[in-house]
Amino acid sequence: MESGIIFGNSILDVVFIAWFIAQFYKVIVSIISDKKLSIKRFWETGGMPSSHSSTVSALVTSVGIVYGTATPLFAVSIVFAIIVLHDAAGIRRAAGKQASVLNRLGASLSKLVDERFNEERLKELLGHTPVEVLVGTIVGIIVAFIFKFHLVS
């Protein structure tokens, strides 16, 4: 495995590129949909595609390309990816739904008691739909195969 250009590790390079593509896409979509540049979108969680998914799928694919799929390192990376993907589409998505309910409840209570009940709205865009996770996973796998030459040269 050749040392990487960005981080001195070619696998980390590919993982970073997969993350960057997923996050950059979110900025581009916000420019198109909101008609303004929102750099903060680059650092936010949630949305299409899942950068968590693109990152771990690029990691798993890169480890498989470099070390093979019958290695302990590949097994560890697969288990790690499963946990991250489950968290993105399950736990964090559920937390985002709960935040939405709490925000609506706070707004309703504020109107009812005629005072500001909820000072700060909770972040609702935390997790991902299964489609966002799937697309993120595909992005990560494609990026790893596009940069395969970088991994094995």
- The string of pLDDT tens digits covering residues 27-37 is 888 788 777 77
pTM value > 0.85: no
- Return the residue matching tokens 């697309």: 135
Per-residue pLDDT, 119: 66
Task: Return the domain boundaries, the chain.
Answer: 10-152
- Rounded Cα distance between 52 and 36, Å, is 25
Scanning 35-87, the segments in alpha helix (DSSP H) are 51-67, 72-86
Nearest one of 49, 79, 35 to 139, comparing CA atoms: 49
- Rounded Cα distance between 31 and 37, Å, is 5
Does residue 61 or residue 93 have the better pLDDT?
Answer: 61
Helix axes 51-67, 130-146, angle to 10 degrees: 40
